[in-house]
């Protein structure tokens, strides 16, 4: 076996599902009083939906999260009507809502190519304004991925995702012993005694090659992006799509699901994920579970025992691993409490992240404002 890449664990908890940006339209250009010339308007800022873009890419590419547009040209003897300043386009993922900092909705980007004006350029100077230009619109905006549910059920076909949703919530998705029973997401709510609710999205099954759109992979993987956390569901007895495709053990299905997500968008691996090992009521399950546990104990080493086409570059770091039986009810009360625990853990990570970001910003502000602007007189 040839080993070319080292497998590593992806840190979870840093998936970006919202981001705040500072946007400023360009100022207008000066008018020309002597000849009645109009200054050009300032450029506008547009959010433009583009497939494949993620909020994390915006954050990484523009760490200061500021966007400004071009200034309008002044009116001159050569060009009495000044040119408009250049517009700025910010590419954003499809499926986001854009709000002002105080929560007012500016609009949504729902399909490829949708455009939204988020900061208007200022007017150029005209007779009306005494030939003086106005400044561009300035505001803080917030982009939020429109999530469909707290958890998305990710698994090969027939793993028992719909059965699990049925057992945990009041939803009634179709269940059948053949693959691809579920073709569109169905949302169920898990209810807790204190009336707290957590939503689970039952998603269609993924197969090997989903990232290159096999088995409508792209359509299905798209939904995985729209959930806060993931729940991998694997059949303890493994999976085989057809007699002419390879049989995959439960551990291989964990690796393959990871690989499909990674090849589609590797950022998805940074979502927190619970691993649910299903069908534990089957007689052969305990033996398979022992084997799977041994592999999971050292995922990195174990993954090297498998053919290269099965191994992802990085591994999922599961927040919890739990064996259950969706049909016999085994392990479900514990799973229910782990679902909630995992969300609460993420909230803590998120608030800590926000706190340190605020602290960093404050430190930057203090360090620039505390530099004294006066000069010390030199002792003579």
Ligand X SMILES: Nc1nc2c(ncn2[C@@H]2O[C@H](COP(=O)(O)OP(=O)(O)OP(=O)(O)O)[C@@H](O)[C@H]2O)c(=O)[nH]1
Enumerate binding residues for Mg ion (CB under 5 A). 162, 181-182
Residues 324-343 that bind ligand X (CB under 6 A): 325-327
Query: Whole-number minimum distance, CB 353 to ligand X, in Å?
Result: 33
Of the pair 62, 184, the CB lying nearest ligand X is at 184
- Which of 279, 299, 311, 346 touches ligand X by CB under 6 A? 279
| Residue 205 near ligand X by CB under 6 A | yes
CA distance 84 to 82: 7
Give the x-and-dash track for 162-181 against ligand X (CB under 6 A).
Answer: xx-----------xxx-xxx
Q: Which residue is nearest to ligand X (CB)?
A: 205
Binding to ligand X (CB under 6 A): which residues in 103-162?
155, 157-162
Write out the H or E segment, with its range, that includes residue 99: strand 96-100
Nearest-approach distance from CB 218 to ligand X, in angstroms: 16
By CB under 6 A, tell whether 278 contacts ligand X: yes
Q: How many residues in total does the chain contain? A: 380
Q: Which residues pair with 229 in a beta bridge?
A: 151
> 169 vs 182, which CB is nearer to Mg ion?
182
In the bound state with ligand X, the residue whose beta carbon lies nearer, of 7 and 326, is 326
- From the list Mg ion, ligand X, none, pick the one residue 319 interacts with, judged by a Cβ distance below 5 to 8 Å according to partner type: none
Per DSSP, 224 falls in state H
Binding residues vs ligand X (CB under 6 A): 155, 157-163, 175-177, 179-182, 204-205, 278-279, 281-282, 325-327
């Amino acid at each position: 076996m040839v080993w070319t890449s080292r497998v590593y664990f992806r840190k979870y908890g840093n998936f970006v599902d919202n981001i705040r940006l500072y946007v400023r339209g360009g100022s207008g250009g000066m008018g020309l009083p002597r000849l009645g010339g109009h200054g050009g308007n300032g450029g506008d800022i547009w959010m433009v939906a583009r497939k494949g873009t993620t909020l994390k890419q915006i954050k990484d590419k523009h760490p200061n999260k500021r966007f400004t547009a071009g200034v309008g040209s002044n009116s001159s003897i050569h060009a009495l009507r000044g040119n408009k300043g250049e517009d700025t386009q910010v590419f954003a993922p499809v499926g986001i809502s854009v709000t002002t900092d105080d929560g007012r909705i500016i609009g949504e980007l729902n399909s490829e190519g949708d455009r939204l004006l988020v900061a208007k350029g200022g007017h150029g100077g005209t007779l009306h304004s005494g030939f003086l230009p106005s400044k561009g619109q300035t505001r803080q905006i917030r982009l939020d991925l429109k999530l469909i549910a707290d958890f998305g059920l990710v698994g090969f076909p027939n793993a028992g995702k719909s059965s699990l949703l049925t057992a945990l919530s009041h939803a009634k998705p179709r269940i059948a012993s053949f693959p691809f029973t579920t073709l569109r997401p169905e949302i169920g709510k898990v209810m807790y005694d204190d009336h707290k609710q957590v939503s689970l999205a039952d998603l269609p099954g993924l197969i090997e090659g989903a990232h290159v759109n096999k088995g409508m992979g792209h359509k299905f993987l798209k939904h995985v992006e729209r959930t806060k956390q993931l729940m991998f569901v694997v059949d303890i007895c493994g999976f085989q799509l057809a007699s002419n495709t390879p049989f995959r053990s439960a551990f291989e299905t964990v690796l393959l699901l990871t690989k499909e997500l990674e090849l589609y968008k590797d950022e998805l691996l940074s979502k927190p994920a619970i691993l649910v090992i299903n069908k534990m009521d089957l007689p052969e399950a305990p033996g398979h579970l022992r084997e799977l546990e041994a592999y999971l104990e050292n995922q990195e080493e174990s993954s090297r025992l498998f053919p290269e086409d099965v191994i992802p570059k990085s591994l999922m770091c599961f927040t919890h691993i739990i064996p259950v039986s969706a049909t016999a009810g085994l392990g479900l009360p514990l799973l229910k409490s782990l679902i909630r625990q995992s969300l609460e853990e993420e909230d803590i990570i998120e608030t800590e992240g926000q706190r340190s970001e605020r602290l960093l910003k404050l430190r930057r502000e203090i360090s620039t404002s505390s530099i004294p602007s006066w000069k010390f007189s030199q002792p003579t």
